[in-house]
């Protein structure tokens, strides 16, 4: 097991050695993820496991936990979304190999030189965990207003000159017929 996250590793050698990497990575070191965040304060804990499954498929297990600072789209306030990622990636050399992956595996195309950037793999999974519309559960309106559709509410009373035009038409049809 290694605490330091190397910039790039030979994916196939890591699978052969069943290597495990564990540690923490700062959110400010992930520029693509930063585009979705309110700021880059904080870090992500990770556990990366290279292995082969029962059918011999090379895999990379990614376990990551972070509190992502986001902007609530209801209140526009910053909040931290707790995220726990557990993903098994099937390592493939070309797109044709994707069909041979078990259903539980997402494909990860390894470059021709075999070198895999581990921080990018973690960053990709965190990006996928960001909601399309971030909303804080504690971001409900402070005045207690709740938007709802009340079907049982009574129709407002109308002034005498504002009668329903269809009701007037129905009345006319009664007398004309």
Whether 172 maps to a domain, the answer reads no
Rounded distance between C-alpha atoms, residue 86 and residue 22, angstroms: 14
Give the residue from 164, 168, 166 showing the smallest Cα distance to 155: 164
List, for residues 43-91, the tens digit of each pLDDT value.
Answer: 999 999 999 998 899 999 999 999 999 999 999 999 999 999 999 999 9
Give the residue from 103, 85, 121 showing the smallest Cα distance to 11: 121
Whether 37 maps to a domain, the answer reads yes
What is the DSSP track for the chain?
A: -BSS--S-EEHHHHHHTT-EEEEEEEGGG-HHHHTTSS---SEEEEEEEEEE-TT--EEEEEEEEEEEEEE-TTT--EEEEEEEEEEEEEEESSGGGGGGS-TTPEEEE--TT-EE-HHHHHHHHHHHHS-SS---TT-S-TT-------TTSPPPP--GGG--HHHHHHHHHHHH-
Whether 3 maps to a domain, the answer reads no
Whether 157 maps to a domain, the answer reads no
Whether 36 maps to a domain, the answer reads yes
Please state the domain count of the chain: 1
User: By residue range, what is the domain housing residue 80?
Assistant: 9-129
pTM of the model: 0.74
Whether 164 maps to a domain, the answer reads no
List, for residues 94-146, the tens digit of each pLDDT value.
Answer: 999 999 899 889 999 999 999 999 999 999 999 999 999 999 887 455 555 55
Rounded distance between C-alpha atoms, residue 151 and residue 140, angstroms: 23
Whether 65 maps to a domain, the answer reads yes
Whether 103 maps to a domain, the answer reads yes
């Amino acid at each position: 097991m290694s605490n330091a996250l190397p910039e790039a590793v030979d994916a196939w050698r890591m699978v052969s050695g069943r290597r495990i990497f564990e540690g923490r990575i700062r959110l400010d070191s992930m520029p693509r993820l930063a585009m979705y965040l309110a700021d880059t304060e904080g870090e992500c804990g990770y556990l990366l496991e290279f292995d082969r499954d029962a059918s011999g498929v090379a895999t990379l297990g990614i376990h990551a936990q972070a509190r992502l600072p986001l902007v609530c789209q209801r209140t526009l306030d910053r909040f931290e979304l707790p995220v726990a990622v557990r993903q098994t990636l099937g390592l493939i050399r070309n797109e044709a190999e994707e069909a041979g992956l078990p259903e539980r595996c997402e494909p990860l195309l390894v470059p021709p030189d075999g070198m895999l950037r581990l921080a990018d793999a973690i960053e990709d999974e965190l990006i996928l965990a960001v909601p399309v519309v971030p909303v804080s559960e504690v971001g409900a309106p402070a005045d207690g207003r709740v938007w709802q559709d009340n079907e049982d509410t009574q129709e407002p009373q109308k002034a005498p000159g504002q009668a329903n035009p269809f009701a007037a038409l129905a009345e006319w049809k009664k007398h004309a017929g």
